[in-house]
Structure 1
């Protein structure tokens, strides 16, 4: 779950980081450049990136909807990682 949260936070902050990089490369790192920043468009772009990230992650997830989660357990002294069993 923390991986999903960190991924979404990074996707949201990506436009702000790119804008900061642009200001750094154009040598406009003064206070006025951040006051005049296109904050609305940075926020909207960040939200679009976040939504796209959620959609992509939901499509990549290969767990079947009717599957059952089997938690990690010991089997003959060896840890067997948790997994989803597909519904049959």
Structure 2
């Protein structure tokens, strides 16, 4: 469950971190309010949401898929047989 929340959150926060690193490299203090105007924050938010959505789509498209049908764990002749794909 945490992976389902943390991956999109990390993708969303990446543009903000990149902008803060950009400010540091330009020798500006990134915690000053003047660098975080409404327009910049709005643009970073749109980029972050787009990155999170594209990340979720990419994970869904390229995730490995199970081959065949899943046979759940069961007992055969008193012996527990683990679940498997057939």
How much does 1:67 deviate? 4.9
* Structure 2 residue 47 is matched with structure 1 residue 51: no
Residue of structure 2 in register with 1:24 after alignment? 24
Stretch of structure 1 that moved more, 55-64 or 33-42: 33-42
How much does 1:5 deviate? 1.4
- Per the normalisation by structure 1, the TM-score is 0.67
Q: Which has the larger radius of gyration?
A: 2
Residue of structure 2 in register with 1:15 after alignment? 15
Q: Classify 1:36/1:43 alpha carbon distance in 2 versus 1 (closer, same or farther; 3 Å).
A: closer
- Per the normalisation by structure 2, the TM-score is 0.69
Q: Which runs of 5 or more residues in structure 1 are unaligned?
A: none
Distance 1:51 1:40 in 2: 17
How much does 1:3 deviate? 1.4
Count the aligned residue pairs.
Answer: 77
RMSD: 3.0
Q: Which runs of 5 or more residues in structure 2 are unaligned?
A: 74-78
Report the 3-state secondary structure (helix = DSSP H, G, I; strand = E; otherwise coil) of the residue aligned with 2:28.
coil
Q: Classify 1:60/1:37 alpha carbon distance in 2 versus 1 (closer, same or farther; 3 Å).
A: same
